[in-house]
Structures are given as structure tokens and as C-alpha cells.
Amino acid sequence: MMYNSFNSYFHGLDAGPSVADSDSSHVVGLQNRRLESDARRLYAEIRKLGKCPIEELCLRVQIPLREGLLALGWLARDERVGIDGSEVRVLSSDFYF
């Protein structure tokens, strides 16, 4: 079976607690709050730096790369940042076409 780079990077990583766990909704809530906090810190740093390599950004904010990638994915989905290869930049939010 062929994996693309995203799947091969995350293949074999622990996905965390399963949905069947009794405290799973509490755990998911805590994970989401941490992810939101990481995203806010990353976004503030990106706004200061402009375009920046992802690994350097995670080091500056002291977030593990895996958590940083998740937070950046969240920001990208909200159209706050653009990811171009290994670099990330703030998207202009003044207007949309």
C-alpha cells in the first residue's frame, strides 16, 4: 500500500484515547483547548515574523512539531495562515474574493 507524505509521517503515531473511553469527551475537550491555545500562540508569532519555516516557528513557541502541525492545520482551515511547503505565512484577512 502506498502512503502519501502526510500519511507516512503520522503512520504509527499514537492517536490518543479511543472514543470508547468513558472520559473521552473530557479528554477531547482538554485536547481541543490545548490545540486552541497552541494555535493562538503560533498565530501571534507568525504575525510578528511574517513568513517563517514551520520547524523554526514551533521551536520559537516551544511547541512539539506534531502539536504545531495540528494547530497550523486548524489555522489554515480557518484561512488565517497559508502553508507553502515547509513555510507558513499570515493570510490577509481584510477581504475575500
Q: Is 33 contained in some domain?
A: yes
Q: Tell me the CB-side half-sphere exposure of residue 45, using CA atoms within 13 A.
A: 22
- In this predicted model, what pLDDT tens digit does every residue of 70-91 receive, in sequence order? 999 999 999 999 999 999 999 9
Q: Is 63 contained in some domain?
A: yes
Domain that holds residue 81: 24-90
pLDDT at 37 over 50: yes
Burial 48-68 (b: 16+ CB within 10 A, else e): eeeebebeebbeebebeeebb
Quote the percentage of the chain above a pLDDT of 70: 67
Has this prediction a pTM greater than 0.85? no
Q: Is 17 contained in some domain?
A: no
Q: Is 39 contained in some domain?
A: yes
Q: How far apart are the first and last CA of the chain?
A: 40
Q: Is 76 contained in some domain?
A: yes
The residues, ordered by sequence, that sit 6+ positions from 10 with a Cβ below 8 Å of its Cβ are: none
CATH code of residue 58? 1.10.10.10
